[in-house]
A = this chain, B = another copy of it.
Amino acid sequence: MALEHALLVALREQPASGLELAQRFGRSIGFFWSATHQQIYRVLGRMETDGWVRVETVAQQGRPDKKVYDVTELGGTALADWLAEPSADTPLRSDLAVKLRGASFGDREAVLDVVRARVVDHHTRLGHYRQLMKRDYPAPHSLAGLELDQYLVLRGGILMEETWIAWLTEYLEAHS
């Protein structure tokens, strides 16, 4: 699918090793895409044989060598092509929504507890995002290009978290 392309975007922003990519995915890009290190290694290998990335082994002090990947010209055009493709919108895949809908068929109070726990999660994440926002983009109106895009994606993460909280709160209030 498109983990390839997510990696291309990440590597164009900054060349990195597999593990560094995995860590970055836990942060910024990971708002909208996640991947484990095993998956990343496998895909990087495939991308290397396809000639989308080149690799350079870098010695480190006090640590094993790392293999730093960078995007080739071929990879760059593959990315540009993909960016221009129409993208089908993926249905949400939320198991929590299924639980909300099915609450009548189990212990409703237990489901409400599950929902309350998730509200806490979303608040935590939202707090984290807002902190990033304040730290990295204190003056959004002066941004342009890559930085503006990064800001806008973080902004989307915040909007999504706020929506989850609003929705789940509405659910809890309707059932109280």
Contact = CB atoms under 8 A, between A and B. Distances in A.
B2 A95 contact: yes
A111 B145 CA distance: 13
A85 B80 CA distance: 43
Contacts of A163: 159-160, 162-163
A6 B166 CA distance: 23
B152 A91 contact: no
Number of copies: 2
Given A2-B95, A98-B32, A105 B83 contact: yes
Interface of A: 1-2, 5-6, 8-9, 12, 29-34, 76, 79-87, 89-107, 110-111, 113-114, 117-118, 121-122, 145-146, 148-150, 152-153, 155-156, 159-160, 162-163, 166-167, 170-171, 174-175
